[in-house]
Copies of this chain bind each other. A is one copy, B any other.
Amino acid sequence: MTPNSSSRRLGLWLVGARGSVATCVAYGLGALREGLIEPTGLGTEAPPLDALDLVPLDNLVLGGHDVTRRALTRTAGELARHGVLRGELLEAGSGLAGEYEARIRPGVLDDADVGFADLDPQAADRSGAPPRERVERLRADWDEFQAETGVDRVVVCNLASTEAWREPRPAWNELGAFERALDAGEAPPASTLYAYAALGSGRPFVNFTPSLGATPAALRALAEREGVPHCGNDGKTGETLLKTVLAPMFAARALRVLSWQGYNMLGNRDGEVLADPLHRRAKLESKDEALRSILDDPDLHTGVGIDYVPSLQDWKTAWDFVHFEGFLGVRMSLQLTWSGSDSALAAPLVLDLARLAELAAARGEAGAMEHTACYFKSPLGGGTHAFHEQVERLLEYARQRS
């Protein structure tokens, strides 16, 4: 029997713990507890999801892995200067943030990413260890976190920078082969190693990035075998969200989209990493998939440009141009300009997903959490990309469990 949520305690483990999103999660949680902010952006705090038996925000404890030693207060100070964290929230959240930072452990970096970060020597050391040993050390960190804090369950959430795209390997398709490769010292991408460590030790895994994570069949089989829920990939926070909201409108009105061209400017670490072609490839594939799936027209022309514009700092500006044809062959257009703080958009979704993953685990649900599709650019459970249909699926899940 599932114990009542109010008595359950959740350890939320953030990979990429010193980054902007994680920092917003920590300071936001602090500000919510102090009553300084409304739970804006948190779907799980609003009807109808708030009727679910979710673990209360007060019962969350944070920990995490990171490959750098950059102080959390430095990230927070930058977010304040960039207009994301108000000064008073910086102060209010400092207690919770301090406790959280004390629980951050050196993480594991993807081989291809060496050189893209100011690496912590301890993290470098861990990243160089044989893959099996890396897995063991991650699990040991989680065990220790759980022992120290007494949380009932740990949910691991990947918020680290996008990894470089890699050619898929046959061993990723089958769990036995995957584990033999590990034994042989062949390391999968770091995000997949985290997923393996988490799922294999019964811990739900949320992949909020376009990195590989638990996408390979081997990892999905592991989740099923261990009876653990997981979800991903790539949080749907801005431009792609708009695409999956608007494209179904064109379909419903039988209007023919000729071209859908998007241009993204990012100023944060994410933008810097995506300036590299291999890292960008992972991201772009995830961004382009939705439109093709919803509009289903072989002649559709799409394109997504990404540029790093440092002066934007934590802000992202996306411009979309939709060229479409209506009755009589008349050509018309829709343009969108989205200007938002990526971190402030992502952080509440991380909290929502952690709570939904905890609930799924508490109820014994295993495998891809199909009801979370509306949160992701490439939902692991598949299905439609149309946002409102995805939301309907989540509401249906909530109705059945409320």
> Interface residues, chain A, CB within 8 Å of chain B?
24, 27-28, 31, 37-43, 45-46, 81, 83-87, 89, 241-242, 245-246, 248-249, 252-256, 258-259, 261, 263, 265, 301, 303, 305, 307, 309-312, 317, 319, 321, 323, 325-341, 344-345, 347-348, 374, 386-389, 391-392
Residues of B within 8 A of A348 (CB): 254, 326-327
Q: Would you give the shortest CB distance from A230 to chain B, in whole angstroms? A: 22
Question: Are the C-beta atoms of A328 and B24 separated by less than 8 Å?
Answer: yes
Question: Are the C-beta atoms of B332 and A340 separated by less than 8 Å?
Answer: yes
Q: Per DSSP, are chain A's interface residues mostly helix, strand or loop, or mixed?
A: mixed
* Complex Cα spacing A83 to B315, Å: 14
* Complex Cα spacing A310 to B77, Å: 28
* Complex Cα spacing A87 to B307, Å: 31
Residues of B within 8 A of A254 (CB): 39-43, 45-46, 348
* Complex Cα spacing A242 to B303, Å: 22
* Complex Cα spacing A113 to B291, Å: 34
Question: Are the C-beta atoms of B265 and A261 separated by less than 8 Å?
Answer: yes
Question: Are the C-beta atoms of B252 and A309 separated by less than 8 Å?
Answer: no
* Complex Cα spacing A45 to B254, Å: 8
Question: Are the C-beta atoms of B303 and A327 separated by less than 8 Å?
Answer: no
Residues of B within 8 A of A31 (CB): 328
- Supposing A341-B330, A347-B328 touch, asked if A253 and B335 sit within 8 A by C-beta, the answer is no
* Complex Cα spacing A130 to B312, Å: 53
Residues of B within 8 A of A246 (CB): 242, 245-246
